Every structure is written in structure tokens, then in C-alpha cells.
Structure 1
Amino acid sequence: MHIQEFTNQEEWVAAGLKLIPQSGKIALSGGTTPAPLYKQLPQSPTYYQIDERYVPKADKDSNQKMIREAFSPQKFYAFNTSLPIEESLKEYESHLPENFDLTILGIGEDGHFASLFPHQNPQGKTAHTQTENFAIKDRLTLTAETILKSKAILVLLKNKGQVLEELKNPTKSPEEFPALKLVNHPNLSILCLKN
């Protein structure tokens, strides 16, 4: 686990961009934290969505809408939320590579990453998960098993000092704080912005 801490957003983004391959297969998380980095991503890789809220793709809460607003990837595979959940998962799995060259993640205060929340451990490549902690309860997500097959994982944190501390000095189990499943990955980089 390689950790870098920053107080300047431009330096944080620049450090992240240095870890992005110019080609290959890259999995992207949603949320607002990675948007400044996404605006500068190279066009040549093939991009994949890590997780999605089960809402129409044009909905304000759609992760793929956020990704497409940040940049316009030429090759981007996303969950088709116009399909029933199980069909969407199956259709998306048909596009997945054996592994990703890089997976870009954020981590929530409760330790969730992708849409993998505490006390959930779905199996397979993709899964339907649910949460009571957010307005959109139904989620479509890559599983921890799929994410951990990535050649490299980049975690972007913004003002998440408690999350970083839990990763460095765990007081909880991986079931209680799912992001702890990431710490033994052989090529994990964590870039933490404090501003």
C-alpha cells in the first residue's frame, strides 16, 4: 500500500494522472471526488463502469452521467439501467475483461467502495446490492473479487482522514469496513487530498 497525501488539488490530480496507463482497460467509479482527474484522462484506453445507481442513465444521480460529463471516452462500457436488474448485470458481464489494468475507486465514510457496503459480500463478477443509507437503494456493481483481480488499484480520497486512518491502523473487520479488503492488494496506491 503506497500512500501519498496532498493539500493542493492540482498536485493531487497530477499524481493520479501519472498512474494512469495510456492504453489498456480502466475501471472508473462514480461520485464527485474523481471528476477533476477524469477531465484529463487519455482517450485511448477502454473504460468500464465500476458501479451504478439503478436510475436512468440521464438521471442526475447516475454515475455514468457524471463520468460522461467529466470526459467523453471513445470506448466506455456501462451498466444498462433500462434493462431489468438481472438482465443488466448479465449484459454488462459479457463486456468485462478478465482483469483491469487499473481500477479507480473512492471510499465512503462507512468504508464502502464501489457499491459494496458493510456486511455485504456478493459473489461472482457483478452484483445487485442495496443500501438504506442513501436515497437510491438499488445498485449494480462489480464485486470485490472482480476489483481485486485488477493489476493496479488507485484510491482517491478527499478530506477522508478517518478513512485513511482506518486503512493504516484497522480497528474494524473487513465485513464492517469493506475497504480493508483492498489493503493487501500488491499494487494499491492511495492519494489523499486534505483541503
Structure 2
Amino acid sequence: MFNLNQYNSSSLLIDDMVKNIIRDLQHAIEQRGRASIAVSGGSSPIPLFKKLSEQPLAWNKVYITLVDDRWVNTTHQDSNENLVMKHLLINNAKMANFIGFKNNAPTPFAGEEYTQEKLREIPLPFDVVVLGMGEDGHTASLFPHAENLHHGLDMNSGKLVVGMVPLTAPHERMTLTLPAILNSHHIYLLLNGKSKKQVLEKALQGSDVDEMPIRAVLQQDKVNVVGFWTE
């Protein structure tokens, strides 16, 4: 099920997302002693990360990982791990346990097994997954018509991560698979701008997941997805 929350300003949107995420993480800590969250990269989540980092929480009991990452050095400007280190793992949140994707393998495909083993340290299901969506309808690094897309969307693969080579974006990637994303209690989709609203509406109206992989997340009934949108 998909629900869309709409806001008059970015600050109101961020405040509400932070409130929801901290509530979910706190509940998990109370229930099982630890919590887990997977986050997306890009510029849109930076204000969210900064606000989250300031919140009072037992961050040492929180496990943070990525939804996807580019197969570049972790100090590279395009690295999502680098982004998270700079903007989320600071202030109070610097006490959190972070597990990234990148390893020494030459390609994300060669690195899948190592990263999958590292991710087993994270308590699953994820308590929170924060997704974004591209103008082409991709989410995480599940890109339209990518050669390996069917492996990323395969609900029976048993894999947490797969390598991906986008047709329309730079860098090889590693991404959480669809079953890994859906193995969660809460999925939050962060959207900014009129064009993203139009992309969302197109995604909700069609059914071809190869054309718009975000549909695989929006049109499933395993976990509720909440969109946070502002113009």
C-alpha cells in the first residue's frame, strides 16, 4: 500500500520524516534492543541526515547501512558512504554502527558475497528504509532495463545485494535487492519537486517494472510505503 504525504515546505517535510524515523528506531530499540536503517544517497537526503544526527537516541544501538552505492573509492565525491559519513554519522549519530557496501573487489559483482556477509551483522527486518526516486523511475540502483535488473527484482534469489550497471547513469553500482528492501517495517520515499510528482503519478498508473523499477516497491502489498513530497 502506498500513501503520499504532501508538505508546503521542505522544512516541514524534513521535520515530519525525522519524527517518524526516530519513533521507529526508538520502538525497535525498546522491542529488541537494537534498530536498523538503510538510507539513500544523493543531495535530497542531506538535510534529513543532518537533522537526524542531532536527535537524542541510543545511537550505539542503531545499525546504519546504504540502499545502494557506486563502486568508487569511499573518499570519492560520488560515494554514498562518503556522503553518509559527512552528513549523518556526526553529532549524536556518530555513535551508530555503520556497515558500507564497498570492498576491495574490482567490480560490484565480484564483491557481492563479501558485502552480503558484512550485512548479516545488521538486525533484520530493517526498521526503516529511506528510498529516493530518479526521473527515470529508478530507485536504489535498480535502473530501468539494466542487464542485471531481473536479478535485483527476483523475490526468490535469497540475495541481499547485487551488482548493477545503469544504462543511463555513471559508475557500476551495488544495490539492495527488492526482497531486501521489502524485508522492512517501514519504507519512506523522499521526493522533491513537481517533476518527481509527475514521475510518481506515471509509476502508479503503469505496471511495467522494467520501464520503472520503482513500481515494484509502490505496487506490492508486503510493506506499507509512505511518500514525503514537497514542491
TM-score (norm 2): 0.77
Name 2:150's counterpart in structure 1: 121
Question: Percent of pairs identical after alignment?
Answer: 29
Are 1:56 and 1:82, in contact at CA under 8 Å, matched by a contact in 2? Answer: no
Match of 2:224 among 184, 187, 191: 187
Secondary structure of the residue aligned to 2:115 is: helix
Name 2:176's counterpart in structure 1: 142
Q: Is 1:58 aligned with 2:80? A: no
Secondary structure of the residue aligned to 2:16 is: helix
Name 1:130's counterpart in structure 2: 165
Name 1:77's counterpart in structure 2: 99
In structure 2, runs of 5+ residues without a counterpart are: 30-34, 152-156
Q: Which structure shows the bigger proportion of residues in helix conformation? A: 2
Query: How large is the RMSD of aligned CA atoms in angstroms?
Result: 1.7
* Aligned CA distance change for structure 1 residues 145 and 133 (closer, same or farther; 3 Å): same
Tell me which amino acid in the other structure corresponds to 2:224. Answer: N
Q: Is 1:32 aligned with 2:43? A: yes
Name 1:104's counterpart in structure 2: 130
Pair member with larger Rg: 2
Are 2:133 and 2:189, in contact at CA under 8 Å, matched by a contact in 1? Answer: yes
Are 2:132 and 2:140, in contact at CA under 8 Å, matched by a contact in 1? Answer: yes
Match of 1:175 among 210, 213, 223: 210
C-alpha distance in structure 1 between counterparts of 2:79 and 2:50, whole Å: 17
Tell me which amino acid in the other structure corresponds to 1:51. Answer: D
Name 2:192's counterpart in structure 1: 158
Shift of 1:89: 2.0
C-alpha distance in structure 1 between counterparts of 2:203 and 2:43, whole Å: 21
Are 1:55 and 1:81, in contact at CA under 8 Å, matched by a contact in 2? Answer: no
Are 1:114 and 1:141, in contact at CA under 8 Å, matched by a contact in 2? Answer: yes
Name 2:32's counterpart in structure 1: none
Are 1:39 and 1:71, in contact at CA under 8 Å, matched by a contact in 2? Answer: yes
Map Cα deviations across residues 135-173 of structure 1 (whole Å, 9 max, x no partner): 22x1011111110111110000011121221244x1351
Pick which of 58-67 and 95-104 moved more: 95-104
Shift of 1:134: 1.6
C-alpha distance in structure 1 between counterparts of 2:104 and 2:181, whole Å: 24
Are 2:5 and 2:227, in contact at CA under 8 Å, matched by a contact in 1? Answer: yes
C-alpha distance in structure 2 between counterparts of 1:63 and 1:161, whole Å: 24
